[in-house]
Amino acid sequence: MDRRRLQKLARENPKLYNKLKHKKTKLKVNDEVIVITGKHKGKRGKILYIDRLRDRVIVQGVNKIKKYVRPTQENPQGGIIEVEAPIHISNVMFYDPKSKSGVRIGYKFEDDKKIRIARGRKGGNREID
């Protein structure tokens, strides 16, 4: 959804907008992820930002684009800088350093605490953090 549609949705139906804005995801900021599809397939990096409204994440060192910056007082030189662009959250997977591959994330409750675990054959249902 583009910005105008989101602003219109926020005015017309605030409950739906808030529901979309606070979508659940099992990934967190500073999680190490691996890109599973696209032109950056196989690259790893940490999540810098999660945009829950548009289902996108910014991963450190992945999907870099060149941005042209005009001269300002802070940056009198101006010029070209490289910044990370967002990629869709479905194109990344949590990276498990023990199994050295991408794994799915699940939850387990122990003593009224919610613990994240790695799922699947490679994950082996072990704790992540």
What confidence tens digit (pLDDT) does each residue in 61-70 have? Answer: 999 999 999 9
Residues in the chain: 129
pLDDT > 90 fraction of the chain, expressed in percent and rounded: 50
Domain count, the chain: 1
Asked if residue 17 has pLDDT above 90, the reply is no
Could you tell me if residue 129 is inside a domain?
Answer: no
Could you tell me if residue 128 is inside a domain?
Answer: no
Q: Which of 20, 129, 43 is nearest to 93 (CA)?
A: 43
Cα–Cα distance, 30 to 45 (Å, whole number)? 9
The mean pLDDT of 81-101, rounded to a whole number, is 92
Could you tell me if residue 44 is inside a domain?
Answer: yes
| Signed CA dihedral, 22, 43, 62, 31: sign only | positive
Could you tell me if residue 103 is inside a domain?
Answer: yes
Could you tell me if residue 63 is inside a domain?
Answer: yes
The CATH number that applies at residue 47 is: 2.30.30.30
Confidence at residue 5, expressed as pLDDT on a 0 to 100 scale: 81
Domain span at residue 116 reads 3-123
